[in-house]
Amino acid sequence: MTTTWTQAARTIPRPTQAVIDGVGVEALTDRSFDSIGPRDGEVVATLPACDERDVDRAVAAARAAFADGRWRDRAPAERKAVLHRFADLVDAHRDELALLETLDTGKPIGDTTAVDAPGAATTLRWYAEAADKVYGEVAPTGPGALATITREPMGVVAAIVPWNYPMIITAWKIGPALATGNSVIVKPAEQSPMATLRLAELASQAGLPPGVLNVLPGEGATGAALAAHGDVDKVTFTGSTATGRKVLEAAAASNLKSVSLELGGKSPQVVFADAPDLDAVAEAVAWGIFYNQGQTCHAGSRLVVEDAVADELVGRIAEVARGLTAGDPLDEATQLGALVSREQLERVVGYIDLAGQEGATVVLGGGRSEPVEGGCYLEPTILDHVRADARIATEEIFGPVLVVQRFDGTQDAALHLANGTDYGLAGAVWSADHARAERVAARLRAGSVYVNCFDLGDVTVPHGGFGASGFGGRDKSLHALDQYTELKTTWRSL
Ligand code: NDP
């Protein structure tokens, strides 16, 4: 099957233009950048690095679309029908979108066909359904007045998206933003623009009016120009904490636009010695960190394990990891593909190199591999005996690297380690003692907590975190609608 996908990769059309006002256009910038495929280090596309003039043009198109009401004033049921057609087209183009995503990011084709492309369609469909179910409220004021509370779209929304789940995160943002009548400009990460550009073409084909969804390929400067723009009403951002801070500063220094930030994590899986089934725990811990090559914001990147079962559990996790099929992302059998870029690979290797200096032991992996020459591959890695204050225990590594921290069996010791980072995106507790599991779950400082399981996911539940993991609203679920709407109170004197 690798041959089929490799052949398809040779001939697949690769988007090379920005999408502004409903059509692919040449950017005004004279600068371009290469999107390098991490599978083999080859250039997969050369795209314009959209500059301030392109940002101005896209914002103007989005503003015009919002101002004349061509989308926001359509009956919610009509917006719903368009978004359903959009979701159907995403499904119909599943293989094409999945291949573009794999070429850009190095994710296994088995994942992009089974998870990323269908996940984007499911999300769009869910928000299509939500479009005509957003009700207002009547406030319980006294009899002399009638006050209604309604939701209005914010206006022009900039969605700045990272490279780890380009299509899915784009759908998490454009689904609720479009369902509620906003105009959107997406800035994909420079590593992964292709599938997003194709999504915008499909949206136009589905009947989304011009200007309502624009996509600007570019580098960090493109995102910075959007965050600083005086006519953007909202920035929704997913990425690193450092860049999130810059977005917030730019918003404060410009027009005080609304900002939502989702900034990653260092999520713990706490395992007590009485965990019901150590094999199930080992599977969940291994997949929780190694899926997507560890480049997942809510990855279970820390194992916080009771001493009594630590050796046994680490051994079983290593067994699961050894059984994963690492290889060419274009091979359907591959479970572990490439990291997104040479830069990310070096960053992750840098953390592994730190392990020795910080007193930790490499118990599995730690080395590069090269199933495809020139690609960015790393073995699944386990670092044991990691100190609570080590950088590898507190900073987001964002690669296939599990950090193991051991505790003496007391609940307080477990929680001290588990809550010992600035992040608070996800966390899990494993114990047969349900009362204890509930107590620990209640005290884990995280936006999503799992009890005797990990990484269950559904568009119906909110995604976001506490502390350095971000703020300003949630992606997914009906709560995401809050990110893209303003509440308006209207009084009438009776
Ligand atoms: P960034 O946070 O820099 O990138 C995320 C998005 O922000 C990209 O679209 C990027 O564009 C854009 N961007 C970059 N600079 C600015 C700016 N000044 N203003 C507005 N937008 C900007 O992440 P990196 O790609 O540099 O990854 C570094 C680390 O971040 C990873 O190792 C990981 O730890 C973390 N990360 C976390 C993610 C999460 O899901 N929470 C996702 C990705 C990374 P461009 O790509 O063109 O620079």
Residues in the chain: 494
The radius of gyration of the chain from alpha carbons, rounded to an integer in Å, stands at 23
Q: What is the tens place of the pLDDT at every residue in 135-173?
A: 999 999 999 999 999 999 999 999 999 999 999 999 999
Averaged pLDDT for residues 206-218: 98
The CB of 425 under 6 Å from ligand 1? The reply is no
The CB of 246 under 6 Å from ligand 1? The reply is yes
Q: What is the tens place of the pLDDT at every residue in 213-232?
A: 999 999 999 999 999 999 99
Gap between the Cα atoms of 483 and 478, Å rounded: 10
b/e per residue 61-95 (b: at least 16 CB within 10 A)? bbbebbeeebbbebeeeebbbbbbbbbbbbeebbe
Residue 80 predicted with pLDDT over 70: yes
Q: What is the tens place of the pLDDT at every residue in 410-419?
A: 999 999 999 9
- 213 touches 174 (CB < 8 A): yes
User: CB count, 10 Å around CB of 53?
Assistant: 12
Gap between the Cα atoms of 334 and 289, Å rounded: 16
Query: What is the CA(72)–ligand 1 centre distance, in A?
Result: 30
Averaged pLDDT for residues 202-218: 98
The pLDDT of residue 59: 98
Model pTM?
0.97
Token pair, residue 154, equals 């914010």
The CB of 221 under 6 Å from ligand 1? The reply is no
Delimiting residues of CATH 3.40.309.10 domain(s) in the chain? 268-458
The pLDDT of residue 340: 98
Query: Taking Cα atoms as reference points, which of 426, 451, 480 lies closest to residue 263?
Result: 426
The pLDDT of residue 352: 98
Residue 2 predicted with pLDDT over 90: no
pLDDT tier for residue 1 given thresholds of 50, 70 and 90? low
Query: What is the CA(239)–ligand 1 centre distance, in A?
Result: 4
Selecting from 2.40.340.10, 3.40.605.10, 3.30.930.10, 3.60.40.10, what CATH number does the domain 2-263+469-493 have? 3.40.605.10
Distances (CA, A) of 276 to 58, 385, 455: 54, 24, 18
One-letter-per-residue 3-state SS of the chain? CHHHHHHHHHHCCCCCCEEECCEEECCCCCCEEEEECCCCCCEEEEEECCCHHHHHHHHHHHHHHHHCCCCCCCCHHHHHHHHHHHHHHHHHCHHHHHHHHHHHHCCCHHHHHHHHHHHHHHHHHHHHHHHHHCCCEECCCCCCEEEEEEEEECCEEEEECCCCCHHHHHHHHHHHHHHCCCEEEEECCCCCCHHHHHHHHHHHHHCCCCCCEEECCCCHHHHHHHHHCCCCCEEEEECCHHHHHHHHHHHHHCCCCEEEEECCCCCEEEECCCCCCHHHHHHHHHHHHHHHHHCCCCCCCEEEEEHHHHHHHHHHHHHHHHHCCECCCCCCCCCECCCCCHHHHHHHHHHHHHHHHCCCEEEECCCEECCCCCCCEECCEEEECCCCCCHHHHCCCCCCEEEEEEECCCHHHHHHHHCCCCCCCEEEEECCCHHHHHHHHHHCCCCEEEECCCCCCCCCCCECCCHHHEECCCECCCCHHHHCEEEEEEEEEC
Query: What is the CA(232)–ligand 1 centre distance, in A?
Result: 20
- 301 touches 266 (CB < 8 A): yes
The pLDDT of residue 191: 97
- Atom 29 of ligand 1, residue of closest alpha carbon: 240
pLDDT tier for residue 409 given thresholds of 50, 70 and 90? confident
Delimiting residues of CATH 3.40.605.10 domain(s) in the chain? 2-263+469-493
- Atom 41 of ligand 1, residue of closest alpha carbon: 264
Token pair, residue 182, equals 């906003």
Distances (CA, A) of 34 to 97, 215, 222, 348: 19, 17, 15, 22
Architecture of domain 268-458: 3-Layer(aba) Sandwich (3.40)
Averaged pLDDT for residues 94-104: 98
Percent residues over pLDDT 90 in the chain: 99
- Average pLDDT along the chain: 97
Q: Hey, which residues does 400 pair with through a beta bridge?
A: none
- 378 touches 369 (CB < 8 A): yes
Query: What is the CA(191)–ligand 1 centre distance, in A?
Result: 10
Q: What is the tens place of the pLDDT at every residue in 21-77?
A: 999 999 999 999 999 999 999 999 999 999 999 999 999 999 999 999 999 999 999
Gap between the Cα atoms of 423 and 446, Å rounded: 8
The CB of 398 under 6 Å from ligand 1? The reply is yes
Token pair, residue 357, equals 């200096």
Gap between the Cα atoms of 159 and 321, Å rounded: 35
Gap between the Cα atoms of 304 and 452, Å rounded: 14
Give the atom of ligand 1 at the shortest distance from the alpha carbon of 224. Answer: 19
Q: Nearest-5° angle of CA 234, CA 240, CA 245? A: 55
Active site residues: 262, 297
